[in-house]
Chains A and B, each alone.
Chain A
Amino acid sequence: MERLKDHPVLDFDRGEKVIFYFEGKPIEGYTNETIAAALHAAGIKVFSYSPKKKRPRGFFCAVGKCSSCLMVVDGRPNVRTCMEYVRPGIHVRRQRGLEKLKGTEE
């Protein structure tokens, strides 16, 4: 998709343009955007694969209430990317099913 340039009613304060990583690849985002919004703007819609049938999942509610947007951010699984803002240099990757929580590995 794309970011809107001219909007009849709104101005967007996107914040600072920064680079972060999706599946190891650099992506442009803005500090006033959530990770989900930045990924969507970059054309990335699949955020995770479901635990059993491995079906693709993206976001649904964008307000932190449905858990459809969970991804692994800097090694931490189950991050609601619709509520988590872009920060420079973070590493974001698709979550595959139920991933182990940090610190629970045997």
Chain B
Amino acid sequence: MSEKLDVQLAVVGGGPAGLAAALAASRFGLEVLLIDENKELGGQLIKQTHKFFGSHNHMASVRGIEIANRLKKEIRENSHITVFLDTTAVGYYENGELLLYRKSPEEKLVSCFPKAVIFATGARENMLAFPGNDLPGVYGAGAVQTLMNVYGVLPARKILMVGSGNIGLIVSYQLLQAGTEVAAIVEILPWIGGYIVHASKVRRYGVPILTRHTIIEARGKEWVEEAVIAKVGEDFNPIEGTEKVLEVDAVCLAVGLSPIVELVRQAGVYTPYIPELGGLVPWHDDDMRTNLPNVFVAGDLAGIEEATTAMLEGELAALSAAEYFGVKSEEIQKMRKDRKARLEELRASRFSDKVKNGLQKLAAKRPK
């Protein structure tokens, strides 16, 4: 039950990066196949019910879900873009074959040899090591968001949030809005990671944000019934005697994301380890080209950031792909300049120092 397909440009992943890439590529006459394994386009955006924490002028006060709807509509009306939903890219081989597993309209494998690919597969949530971390009730922050914001199911009655970055703070706030009690937010660093506006919002609900604290154990018979937290010393190890037991039925981990690099690695894209960007990341230049001439990357896959930067990177990747296909136009140079300037502006605040360091390290790893 396998089928062959002719494809010029494949875009794998329909989050903000992939959507922006597909739209930009179509503007330069490329025929695009956009693939996402969900039933709906939008990636992480569809769970973002709050106003954006991104930048000031770049869709600053729009909810993620509204951005997704806008881009989705544009894509639907675009005759150069074919969309495969419910479709997982399961392999990308050295001979250029991209293998797709489609679940609907009927279950089948589809093989194609796209002339170029933009990967925008996003990121996956990080785990923390502690006893009981495999118990049901230990959830990633994205999972908690998916349950409550996409499916409208209450994730828990009382939860412990681990991590005080923007994601931890925002998801805590969303949990409170949905009716879940947040016992505490623990943060191992001496300071709160996210923006003060978000921290203030949850504090107004009376949620304590405990810095220099971490989770040391989750307990329960069949699922989480208790979480043990403790203060940490200068060495980040728990201090004996400071343990506290919290009665919660879930623990939410908001401790960072790692790029989903399996597919690009399969094809031979070089993926150095850059902790500032989330771990293993595909090497790329600032035009989102990898070490393979016909493979481009964008979004969280290219380094963990946010939706606003993901969209700009998607567009830059599309410009490089258009050039790869020999498109010559002034418009490309103009758009490129504009998108790079906007990226720079977005990364200007001190919250982006980590990413900027990471990108510098990545640049230094340019393969021969």
* Interface set of A (CB-CB < 8 Å, partner B): 1-4, 7-10, 12, 14, 32-34, 37, 40-41, 45-47, 50, 55-66, 68, 82-83, 85
Contact = CB atoms under 8 A, between A and B. Distances in A.
A10 B138 CA distance: 25
A50 B147 CA distance: 23
Given A7-B152, A58-B136, A64 B143 contact: no
Contacts of A62: 139-140, 142-143, 146-147
A37 B136 contact: no
B153 A57 contact: no
A37 B149 CA distance: 11
A68 to B, nearest CB: 8
Interface size class of B (residues with CB under 8 A): 35 or more
B233 interface: no
Interface in B97-137: 124-125, 127, 134-137
B136 A1 contact: no
B39 interface: yes
B152 A10 contact: yes
Nearest to B220: A56
Contact of B143 (A9, A10, A63, A85): A63
Nearest to A53: B134
Given A66-B125, A66-B140, 18 more contacts: A1-B156, A3-B152, A4-B154, A37-B146, A37-B147, A37-B150, A41-B153, A45-B222, A47-B136, A50-B134, A55-B134, A60-B143, A61-B125, A62-B143, A62-B146, A63-B124, A63-B143, A83-B37
B153 A3 contact: yes
B291 interface: no
B149 A10 contact: yes
A2 B143 contact: no
30 contacts: A2-B154, A3-B154, A4-B148, A4-B153, A7-B177, A7-B178, A9-B63, A10-B149, A32-B151, A33-B151, A37-B151, A40-B147, A45-B222, A47-B136, A55-B134, A57-B134, A58-B136, A59-B136, A59-B143, A60-B127, A61-B125, A62-B140, A62-B143, A62-B146, A63-B124, A65-B124, A68-B134, A82-B146, A83-B38, A85-B39
Interface in B23-80: 37-39, 49-50, 63
Looking at chain A's contact residues, the main secondary structure is loop
The 7 closest A-B pairs by CB, nearest first: A58-B136, A62-B143, A12-B152, A37-B151, A45-B136, A65-B124, A62-B146
Contacts of A33: 151, 153
Contacts of A65: 124-125, 260
Contact of A46 (B50, B156, B222): B222
B299 interface: no
Interface in B301-339: none
